[in-house]
Amino acid sequence: MDFEKFEQISRKAALLAGAKIMEIYNSDDFEVKSKSDESPVTEADEAADAMISEILAEAFPDTLIVTEEQADSHAQTADSFLIVDPLDGTKEFVKRRGEFTVNIAYVENGTPVRGVVYAPAKDRLFYTKADGASVEETGDLALDVVGNQKALSVSNPDNDALMVVASKSHRDQATDDYIAKYSVRDMTSAGSSLKFCLIATGEADIYPRLGRTMEWDTAAGHAVVLGAGGKVLRFDDHTPLTYGKPIYENPFFIVASPDVVLKEA
């Protein structure tokens, strides 16, 4: 993979998809359908998926593209692949909460090594540069002009006063029970892959996820966390979360600064 090219193309694709998503988000009404697993899908998901897939396929014709909205891609495998969630946080989108993201990542031998997370309603754009370091771009977020890039670094946590981030739409008792094992200073909630980005920026110290997710939900945020010095581990044995698993389904996991002393499940 040409990482310079990936940085440019994934940034462009995310911004274009984000603009289309916001066009639909700001309309008077949009259609919401249910997929086979009862999860919602909107015309914004489908339009963003078509746009991103076309851009990536043209730029990287020999690389497998796995995307949430194309079920046929879920049966394909490769050692290295692109993985896309064109609109992560559809529930947040439908409720007009603004906490949804465009996610594009490149996975190499089980690890998401590069990625972009764009939250168009919040004007926040996070990505890994060609060298693997993660940044948040600020400014106008223009297609043809790259704004200021703020280097990201995970927190230096105080294990006696941790900042925890949890899911806004998928909070449950098991998650609360696990969080209770820690000394918590404060908690925040966020939708979609923004939770990963809050770890990458140092705005939070730990994010436990005890619920079903798919690899396209997590890969881009995972890459951004790694590029900021963080870690993403399986919940059960604290080994690194890997990609390319059967049907692209994740186990429970924990995202954290390396200096957080993790509790056993």
Which residues contribute to the annotated binding site? 68, 85, 87-90, 217
How many residues would you count in the chain?
265
Q: Given the structure tokens 């044995």, which residue do they identify?
A: 237
Q: For residues 162 and 81, what is the distance between their CA atoms, to the nearest angstrom?
A: 35
Fill in the DSSP letter of residue 205.
Answer: S
Q: Give the sheet arrangement for strand 206-209, strand by strand.
A: 184-190, 162-167, 206-209, 253-256, 231-234
Task: Look at residues 213, 215, 198, 216 and name the one whose alpha carbon lies nearest to residue 255.
Answer: 198
Fill in the DSSP letter of residue 154.
Answer: -
Binding residues for substrate: 68, 87-90, 217
CA distances (Å), origin 243, targets 119, 185, 257:
23, 32, 20
Q: For residues 116 and 102, what is the distance between their CA atoms, to the nearest angstrom?
A: 8
Binding residues for Mg(2+): 68, 85, 87-88, 217
Q: For residues 211 and 118, what is the distance between their CA atoms, to the nearest angstrom?
A: 23
What b/e string do you get for 229-261 counting C-beta neighbours within 10 Å, with b at 16 or more? bbbbebbeeeeebbbbeeebebebbbbbbeebe
For strand 40-42 and strand 32-34, is the pairing parallel, antiparallel, or unpaired?
Answer: antiparallel
